[in-house]
Amino acid sequence: MNKQQTNDVILQTVTKVACFIILLFSFHLFFAGHNNPGGGFIAGLMTSSSFVLLLLAYDLKTVKNILPINFIYVAATGLFISVCTGIGSFVFGAQFLSHAFGYFHLPLLGKTELATAVLFDTGVYLVVVGVTMTIIQTIGERE
Amino acid sequence: MNNLVILPILIPLLAAVLLIFMNKSIKLMRAFSAVSSLAAVAAAAVLAQTVFTDGIQTLYLGGWKPPFGIILVADQFASILALTTAIIGFATVLYSFRSIGEKRERFFYYPAVQFLLAGVSGAFLTGDLFNLFVFFEVLLMASYVLIVIGGTKIQLRESLKYIVFNIISSALFVIGVAYLYAVTGTLNMADLSVRISESGHAGLITVIAVLFLIVFGLKGGIFPLYFWMPGSYYAPPAAVSALFGALLTKVGMYAIARVFTLIFTQNAAYTHQLMVWLAALTIIFGVIGSIAYWDVQKIIIYNIVTAVGVILFGIAANTPASIEGSIYYLIHDMIIKGALFMLGGALFALAGTNSLKKMSGYMKTHPALGWMFMISAVSLAGIPPFSGFIGKLKIAEGGFTSGEFVITLLMLLSSLLVLYSVMKIFIYGFWGEEWKDAPRNRSVKGFIYPAAILLFLSLAVGIGTEFVAPYFHQAADTLIHPEKYIEAVLKE
């Protein structure tokens, strides 16, 4: 960071495009997880890899300006969501972590299967993003 | 359908998550972790009472029937251990207020403690071998954080050793689970027990049993595998040592007690004989360590090794009396080691050193601390009105019944040396003239009242043996008759 900024026009321009493609692919992986290979873990890694690409093309400060998030709290939020999907079973009088699903008619998407496992996976996704980014940012910050 | 079983795991887990959000305000973190630890104690107590009146409680996670789903099983053994864990967690949280220091508190100390408690309770309550592994990892990860938090030189050095040995033992654990899964095709403990008694692979199963003994021996600190313990328990501050000394090795002992009474019962002549010899060597090396050192913490740490040997001997002798004695001694040792580490920490705070040669005369200035140390010392050695007595008595009874005269006598003799080692702390630390240039008039009130809670509990168990005996008897009953456990888990 204290060395002189090199001229990375090509890297930065490609990053601007590639970053969104990687993000989209990670969302695809996340939603595909129920019936195809994918899921919260790999999607979280893929999302953080797009952030890492940003970190490589720009520097820590710029990325912190773009994403002013404390990633420790992201991981904690993820854990909280996952634990809460289990606690929901207390409300409905079911066994802990019982899974429920149903078919709904959503606007635009039509008949869609919604499952509570997706909520659990959202927690996993956030934990993975939070933990990976915390590790990379704290190591990167050290002089 | 009984979600009560998961509460001793869920409360610390949820508390840990919420505590991460509170890391700006130390007061809020302290208050919240004390309240949630108290709630965990209450939940575990209700669970123990429910198990006592209604029998073994099970919870099928997600509603999947065993052996296909994950199951939590609370028999009396697991639930009194979960209760003891919650109580020790509560006392340690109180102890941390005064002793741990703001710098550590800011770096997620309280969440790490709660994660550790969640992992330990989970390891006690699970009914599935792979989940046991996962809960071991949860508690180990939290203990890695706790051992290194603060970042002093000795902590960095010892945490490296601690992490390396634990990673190796965890890898061996996974290998053991893989072998067992390859032979039997199941991971549910009750189902494993049934399939192993039906299968004919006696030789293979014995090899796997010894592998598990090595794994849990590394976690629990039995004879050739305890070498990592003295250094790593010496490094962190007293509150963390108390938590480690009271809980971590005991999870290893619980796992040995569980798998060698439930799963690996086929070739007991070989495996239990091996355990008897390992127990004897553990006791010998433990007492040698504890009488050799002139350092308060080191003496207490080597007493853990001795206690682990005694508990292992009770399990290995494999008679109803000795198994019941092991359970008594396990609970007693968890409580009293927590208290001893806390009192040792108070002594360190007073004297500024752990060396017995540089302290004396604290009886005059701090009589409460002195008497509490005295009581925990005689309780550790197993003097009759205190809690250590009944456990050792029953283990000795079982040892004589199973014909292990030499080792039983060895165990009884070890009590003398244990008493000598802790009395050495008492005599050199508390008797005599006051040390001239020692820092004076420091209040240790915050240090001794959490220890007082544990000591009171220990006294209650010792004097009120008649009252607690039915619980312990029921706990031993499911270990001696594993078919009750299997029936509770695999019932239709």
> Which range has the worst mean pLDDT, A113-122, B186-195, B287-296, B306-315?
A113-122
Selecting from A80, A93, A95 the residue whose C-beta is nearest the C-beta of B61 gives A95
Mean pLDDT for B212-240 is 91
3-state secondary structure chain B: CCHHHHHHHHHHHHHHHHHHHCCCCHHHHHHHHHHHHHHHHHHHHHHHHHHHHHCCEEEEHHHCCCCCCCEEEECHHHHHHHHHHHHHHHHHHHHHHHHCCHHHHHCCHHHHHHHHHHHHHHHHHECEHHHHHHHHHHHHHHHHHHHHCCCCHHHHHHHHHHHHHHHHHHHHHHHHHHHHHHHHCCCEHHHHHHHHHHCCCHHHHHHHHHHHHHHHHHHHCCHHHCCCHHHHHHCCCHHHHHHHHHHHHHHHHHHHHHHHHHCCCCCHHHHHHHHHHHHHHHHHHHHHHHHHCCEHHHHHHHHHHHHHHHHHHHHHHCCHHHHHHHHHHHHHHHHHHHHHHHHHHHHHHHHCCCEHHHCCCHHHHCHHHHHHHHHHHHHHHCCCCCCHHHHHHHHHHHHHHCCCHHHHHHHHHHHHHHHHHHHHHHHHHHCCCCCCCCCCCCCCHHHHHHHHHHHHHHHHHHHCHHHHHHHHHHHHHHHHCHHHHHHHHHCC
Query: Per-domain residue ranges for chain B?
Result: 6-490
Contact assessment for residue B125 and residue B5, using Cβ atoms and an 8 Å cutoff:
yes
Mean pLDDT for B342-367 is 87
Q: Is the pLDDT of residue B492 over 80?
A: no
* Residues of B whose CB is below 8 A from A86: 10
* Residues of B whose CB is below 8 A from A81: none
pLDDT of residue A115: 83
Q: Is the pLDDT of residue B72 over 70?
A: yes
Asked if A95's CB is within 8 angstroms of B60's CB, the reply is: yes
Q: Is the pLDDT of residue A143 over 70?
A: no
Q: What is the pLDDT of residues B272-308, one digit of tens each?
A: 999 999 999 999 999 999 999 999 999 999 999 999 9
Give the number of A-B residue pairs with CB atoms closer than 8 Å. 43
Helix, strand or coil for residue A112?
strand
Burial class (CB in 10 A: 0-12, 13-18, 19+), B60: buried
Q: Is the pLDDT of residue B211 over 80?
A: yes
Q: Is the pLDDT of residue B340 over 90?
A: yes
Asked if B14's CB is within 8 angstroms of A96's CB, the reply is: no
- pTM for the structure as a whole: 0.94
Q: Is the pLDDT of residue B455 over 80?
A: yes
Q: Is the pLDDT of residue B265 over 90?
A: no
Minimal-distance CA residue of chain A relative to B12: A83
pLDDT of residue A102: 78
Asked if A95's CB is within 8 angstroms of B59's CB, the reply is: yes
Q: What is the pLDDT of residues A70-103, one digit of tens each?
A: 999 999 999 999 999 888 878 887 888 888 887 8
